[in-house]
């Protein structure tokens, strides 16, 4: 498919994949998934690699804090959580409080925050 953007013709042979509900797209994704599984499942020591990665990911993460007014905002993911949780606390010694937990948005854990920004005074947080 061709499209004209800013006076230039842009060819996009994969535009048809944007229709996620089409039978053709679903067939393509199934075939790609099967091919990927055949390659990855055949890797030697795949089980050992999987086990080690699971151990490392179980450690969890803590993000860099951002300050808004008297508030500190940061994300933390415990080892078994699919998505990091946004926390806030008042001042350095305040108690942590969950501000937004994306893990509650979808039971399969696939809904995530793309970004978040506290306002200068800390009264608001914009997120997506």
What does DSSP say about strands 2-5 and 61-62: parallel, antiparallel, or unpaired?
A: unpaired
How many CA atoms does the CB half-sphere of 111 hold within 13 Å? 11
CB 127 within 8 A of CB 86: yes
Say if strands 71-77 and 125-127 run parallel, antiparallel, or are unpaired: unpaired
Question: Does the structure show a pLDDT above 90 at 79?
Answer: no
Phi-psi category of residue 34: left, alpha or beta, with phi > 0 → left and psi -120 to 50 → alpha: alpha
107-124 pLDDT, tens per residue? 888 999 999 999 999 999
Global pTM? 0.65
What pLDDT is recorded for position 109? 86
Categorize the per-residue pLDDT at 2 as very low, low, confident or very high, splitting at 50, 70 and 90.
confident
Q: What is the pLDDT of residue 80?
A: 85
Whether 57 has a pLDDT exceeding 90, the answer reads no
């Amino acid at each position: 498919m061709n499209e004209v953007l800013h006076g230039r013709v842009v060819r996009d042979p994969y535009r048809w994949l944007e229709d996620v509900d089409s039978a053709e797209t679903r067939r393509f994704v199934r075939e790609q998934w099967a091919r990927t599984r055949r390659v990855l499942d055949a890797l030697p020591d795949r089980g050992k690699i999987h086990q080690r990665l699971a151990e490392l990911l179980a450690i969890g993460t803590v993000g860099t804090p951002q300050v808004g007014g008297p508030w500190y905002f940061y994300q933390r993911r415990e080892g078994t959580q699919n998505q990091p949780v946004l926390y806030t606390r008042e001042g350095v010694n305040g108690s942590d409080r969950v501000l937004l937990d994306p893990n509650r948005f979808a039971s399969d854990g696939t809904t995530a925050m793309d970004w978040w920004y506290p306002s200068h005074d800390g009264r608001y947080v914009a997120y997506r």
